[in-house]
Structure 1
Amino acid sequence: MRGILGIVCCLPFSALAWAQLPLLSLLPLPEATVEVGQAPRKGWVLYRVRPGDTLAGIAARYGVEAQHIMWSSGLKDHRLQVGQPLRIPLVDQGERPPRVPPGVEAYRVQPGDTLAGVAARFGLTPLELVSANPTLESLDRLVAGSVLYIPREVRGLLVALPEGETLLDLAQRFGLPPVQVARANGIDNPAELRPGDLVLLPGIQARTTYERLLAKQEEERRARLEAERRRQEELRRLAEERRRQQALAQQRARQAQARPVSYQEGGMRWPLAGGFRITTYYGQRGVFQRYHTGIDLAAPQGTPILAAKAGQVRVAGWSAVGYGFHVVLDHGGGKETLYAHMSRIAVRPGQWVEAGQVIGHVGSTGWSTGPHLHFEVRVNGVPRNPLSYLP
């Protein structure tokens, strides 16, 4: 009897004769029998969106199409929020990919592609391309590696068949004859369509979506113009502030040259006695230029260079990093001054010098384009703005 049951249970239920049902109902079931259904052929991975994630990036990571994630997660567009749960569909090898109507080509977006450019390349209008890809979120920004569907024959709205709906339902919703929809999609048997398969609705245009994207494009264009206007205003403000600071510094330099040297304890004097002008200030210069760690004082070749403050000569010689002939004075307390591009050095290492003593002469040695003194103030090895220490 157990042998008979084993054979019967291996047969599909549809193969049993209905006349056998009374007999089977009288047979005792084995006590340890457990019926196990077939293993599911597809499932999902639950994923929470992290900072920097994009739908296209997540899809590429799991080897699925972005639209499949949208369908599984109930998303209406590609926008994601950090912490948002997603269902990533995992389909085994036995499952076929979503059906694409004949005459519709899948195009993978290349870096630099624009919607208008892709549409022109395939002889479509932007509206026709949007209708074939109604989930687009921008007319300007296309994600490289994502897929655009290109209708090469019949033009219309391309949508995924929703769960629980049929081709007839879609045709009725958009007011199209079912035969026309079936012909446009190359379908003989509508029952072959599965949820997620793409269906082309001929002649239907996603005009509302397109107008929304046009409005968004104009809004983004205005935002870019406003951002550029603010950036230019900020640049003009910074340039004006820089000119004001430079004029103030030049005025201070002229006043210092016109009066006797006088400074408080701990301050410094100008390293040139007169006849100089500031050509480069401390701080950031052009976009592609290095940060300037001092100030440049243009003066005639051979002009005497004076110690800005009393101290001991720590370095007096040639520099391998562009200073040319230069001198470094140690003033104690971690404070140093550097004098670069000299034509001649007038002190030696270890020597003590007083403030205002000649330590060298203006030149153009090292990385220099003309006679000038490059003057730096360093505190514990860190360059500081020399104008903060000068009278």
Structure 2
Amino acid sequence: MILLIFAASPSLALDLRLALPLPLPERAVEVSPPVRKGWVIYEVKPGDTLSGLAEHYGVNPKHIMWSSGLRSDRLYPGQRLLIPIVGVEERPPRVPPGVEVYRVRPGDTLDTLTKRFGLTPVELVSANPSLESLDRLVAGMELYIPRKAKGLLLTLGEGQTLVDLAARFGLSPVAVARANGVKDPTELRPGDLVLLPGIQAKTTYQNLLAKQEAERRARLEAERKRQEELRRLAQERARQQALAQRQAPRQQASPRPQVRRVSYQEGAMRWPLSGFRITTYFGQRGAFQRYHTGIDLAAPYGTPIVAAKAGQVEVAGWSSVGYGFHVVLDHGGGVETLYAHMNRIAVRSGQWVKAGQVIGYVGSTGWSTGPHLHFEVRVGGMARNPLAYLP
């Protein structure tokens, strides 16, 4: 059985020790705050030892013997012990006097901070040896700024003392205590900051400089690759433009195909674009080129494409044979029109559209080298020259 009792004075503990053989009252006893000390009433179990209980509760074995009125360290099952527990007052980690806690603001850099506070970079790094980069300071993070004595600022670890740190760096404990404003070194607790005057984190600073240089080289390499890719794309564009210019005279010199105009009753249509230029006509283009089943109308990206004639949307989607995003309209009587290489489709399959209604926008999807509309007219499934149906 374990019972935790808090007391405000040692006299109450003595009264409890003398009253151990008597039955304990069931009601709780309230004492005035603040509670600084308490006792655990513990019933000994088989196998318990005084040293083991002392280690478990973090107390001196002699204090258990004194509180429980024991004359020896031998314990018996069923025996009741009074184990003293001293509360530890919580406080934030101690920062040495002369060290300012600074919260990084947007735009702060290592250079601006060293100039603002009159420090060298190595002095600022020594006060903040956990810094991961000389270039990246995150707004809101805390930095320690030594305004008086300069040195290495470390966090006191579990089980460490000021004397241990001083010996580790070959410093006088008195000088370290004076730099930290400490009269009694035992006052320091794990997590407190200790300034080691005159010690500089040169190795840490050199490692950060090397990391900074590696990051700079990585950025330069990434920029070099980006510039190379831009040059490659520019050269590819220039090659395509030169090829188009060489082909243009041949196309202009070639006679325009003879077109047999059909009557309106046979299915006259309107132009699907405005502000365009015909770059390829219907028919055979060359000895080693495929037969062109429509006409190509060059226009800027995003130019609206309209239905050449009223009809129902038969296809609206992606083509696996080079048309890219395309639309096929069924005008009835076996007449269809196809609009290819769209950047975006504005209708859906099954929808009825009017002549002149926007059905999509010029793009360069599928097998295409630039923004244009490939326009086809099919009658009974056979491609016909679109110019025969256009005004």
Q: TM-score range by the shorter chain?
A: 0.5 to 0.7
Displacement after TM superposition at 1:350 (Å): 6.7
Maintained 8 Å contact 1:313/1:329: no
Structure 1 pair 337/120, CA: closer, same or farther in 2 (3 Å)? same
Shift of 1:3: 4.5
Which residue of structure 2 lines up, in the alignment, with residue 107 of structure 1? 102
1:269 to 274, 295, 302: 295
Post-superposition CA distance 1:346-381 (Å, at most 9, x none): xxx977xxxxxxx9xxxxxxxxxxxxxxx937999x
Aligned length: 262
C-alpha deviation, 1:204, in angstroms: 0.3
What do the CA deviations read for 1:117-155 (whole angstroms, capped 9, x no partner)?
A: 111111111110000001111110112211110001100
Displacement after TM superposition at 1:25 (Å):
7.6
Find out whether 1:4 has 2:20 as its counterpart. Answer: yes
Is structure 2 residue 362 aligned with structure 1 residue 376? yes
Report the secondary structure of 2:96's partner residue.
Answer: coil
The answer to whether residue 119 in structure 2 is matched with residue 130 in structure 1 is no
Structure 1 residues 214, 194: CA separation in 2 closer, same or farther (over 3 Å shift)? Answer: same
Partners of 2:65 and 2:236 in 1: how far apart? 94
TM-score, length-normalised on structure 1?
0.54
Q: Which runs of 5+ in 1 are unaligned?
A: 42-93, 272-277, 282-291, 296-306, 316-327, 339-348, 352-358, 360-374
In structure 1, distance between residues paired with 2:148 and 2:365: 74
CA contact (8 A) 1:103 1:152 kept: yes
- Equivalent pair of 2:294/2:374 in contact (CA under 8 Å): no
- The question of whether the paired residues in 2 share the 8 Å contact of 1:314 and 1:350 is answered with yes
SS in 2 for 1:263: coil
Aligned residue in 1 for 2:7: none
**CA 40–232 in structure 1, closer or farther in 2 if over 3 Å, else same:** farther
User: Matches of residues 70-109 of structure 1 in structure 2 within 5 Å?
Assistant: 95-109=90-104
**Structure 1 residue identity aligned to 2:92:** P
CA distance in 1: counterparts of 2:222 and 2:363, whole angstroms: 38
Where does 1:176-215 land on structure 2 (aligned, <5 Å)?
176-215=171-210
Cα pair distance change 1:255/1:377, threshold 3 Å: farther
Q: Distance in 2 between matches of 1:215 and 1:245?
A: 45
1:335 partner letter: L
CA distance in 1, matches of 2:295, 2:67: 113
Shift of 1:26: 9.7
**Secondary structure of the corresponding residue to residue 110 of structure 1:** coil
| 1:1-391 paired onto structure 2 within 5 Å | 3-5=19-21, 14=63, 17=66, 20-22=69-71, 29=78, 95-260=90-255, 261=257, 262-263=282-283, 267-271=293-297, 292-293=301-302, 312-314=308-310, 335-336=338-339, 376=362, 385-386=371-372
Structure 2, unaligned stretches of length 5 or more?
1-16, 25-38, 43-58, 258-281, 285-290, 312-326, 342-352, 377-391
Query: Could you say which structure has the larger radius of gyration?
Result: 2
Q: Which runs of 4+ in 1 moved over 4 A?
A: 6-13, 15-19, 22-28, 33-41, 328-334, 377-380, 387-390
- For 2:135, what is the secondary structure of its paired residue? coil
Q: Is the 8 A contact 2:340 2:373 kept in 1?
A: no
CA distance in 1, matches of 2:20, 2:340: 104
Counterpart CA distance in 1 for 2:114 and 2:200 is: 15
Distance 2:95 2:181 in 1: 10
| RMSD, aligned CA | 4.7
Aligned to 1:21, the other structure's residue is in SS state coil
**Rounded Cα–Cα distance in structure 2 between residues aligned with 1:19 and 1:388:** 100
Decide whether the 8 Å contact of 2:68 with 2:83 is kept in 1. no
Identity %: 52
CA distance 1:256–1:99, change in 2 (3 Å): same
Residues 135-177 of structure 1 deviation map (CA, whole Å, 9 limit, x = unaligned): 1111101122111100011000000112111100100110110
